[in-house]
């Protein structure tokens, strides 16, 4: 599922049209960028890394999950509940396309 | 989104470049746990061969299982993130250690029949058993070191 303004792989138009609307929002971009450096990370670790509140992270993760970019896994470590976040293959691909578009714009 | 400037794009790329969740602590936990699994495998095979026929195999197996469980528990609790590609590196190391474990066991079995420098009916020397343990542990030790250093970025 891609939220890009043009179909993936399209070569026409300005690079800004290749930017992904879901990832482009600043907090979501930070979440995806952080998750791209890991296989999986705890909700709390992502929250601390990008310096947002639980509610903000939760809301933005829901949007990313709905787009199919992030997978949320709930479990326990001992008796403590834990939530783990992971970038899906589609999310990683969308992030790479988004970065490529940013590089094209930055170099323009 | 249509009016993003080249400066804004550069700023976003800088954010992406500096973004990270994984800490040195997380990397150390996963690296040491991976190496620990290899050491446990190597030690188990070596000690099991040394204790062969003494009746201590079952308690040794229990100690081995507890050691693996303790490692998994520590790894899960101590780390807040899984470094990129560390699982893949760990699985490759595990596969390597498993293959070498099977080869080492076959080699020790052949030696126990009096071939390949072994003496039939005689227990293996600690030097040979230590070598066997190190060979088995090696792939996971290498994998652990790679995870510790940063792995495939």
Whole-number Å distance between alpha carbons of A16 and A21: 10
Q: A10: how many CB neighbours lie within 10 A of its CB?
A: 11
Give the predicted TM-score (pTM) of the model.
0.84
Lowest mean pLDDT among A7-11, A46-50, B38-42, B145-149: A7-11
Q: How confident is the model at residue B2 (pLDDT cuts 50, 70, 90)?
A: low
Which tens digit of pLDDT belongs to each residue from B96-136?
Answer: 999 999 999 999 988 888 777 767 777 788 999 999 999 99
Q: Does B6 touch chain A (CB under 8 A)?
A: yes
Structure tokens at B101: 């474990």
Q: Which one-letter DSSP state was computed for residue A37?
A: T
Which tens digit of pLDDT belongs to each residue from A4-50?
Answer: 444 444 455 677 778 899 999 999 999 999 999 999 999 999 999 99
3-state secondary structure of A7: coil
State how far residue A42 is from chain B, nearest Cα, in angstroms.
5
What pLDDT shows up at residue B64?
95
Q: Does the interface predicted TM-score (ipTM) exceed 0.95?
A: no
Chain A residues lying within 8 Å of B81, measured CB to CB: 38, 40-42, 45
Rounded to an integer, the average pLDDT of B68-95 is 95
3-state secondary structure of A42: strand
Q: Does A16 touch chain B (CB under 8 A)?
A: yes
């Amino acid at each position: 599922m891609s939220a890009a303004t043009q179909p993936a792989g399209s070569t026409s138009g300005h690079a800004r049209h290749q930017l992904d609307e879901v990832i482009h929002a600043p907090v979501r971009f930070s979440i995806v960028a952080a998750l791209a450096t890991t296989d999986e990370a705890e909700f709390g670790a992502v929250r601390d890394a990008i310096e947002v509140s639980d509610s903000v992270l939760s809301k933005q993760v829901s949007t990313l999950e709905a787009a199919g970019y992030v997978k949320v896994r709930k479990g326990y470590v001992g008796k403590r509940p834990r939530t783990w976040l992971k970038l899906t293959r589609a999310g990683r691909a969308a992030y790479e396309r988004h970065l490529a578009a940013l590089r094209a714009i930055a170099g323009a | 989104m249509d009016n993003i400037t080249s400066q804004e794009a550069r700023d976003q790329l800088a954010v992406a470049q500096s973004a990270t969740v994984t800490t040195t602590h997380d990397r150390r936990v996963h690296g040491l746990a991976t190496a620990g699994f290899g050491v446990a495998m190597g030690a188990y095979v070596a000690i099991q061969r040394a204790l062969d026929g003494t009746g201590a195999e079952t308690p040794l197996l229990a100690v081995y299982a507890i050691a693996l469980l303790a490692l998994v528990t520590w790894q899960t609790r101590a780390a807040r993130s899984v470094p990129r590609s560390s699982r893949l590196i760990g699985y490759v190391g595990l596969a390597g250690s498993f293959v070498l474990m099977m080869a080492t066991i076959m080699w020790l079995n052949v030696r126990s029949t009096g071939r390949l420098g072994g003496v039939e009916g005689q227990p293996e020397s600690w030097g040979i058993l230590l070598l066997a343990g190190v060979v088995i542990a090696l792939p996971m030790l290498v994998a652990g070191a790679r995870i510790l250093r940063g792995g495939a970025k």
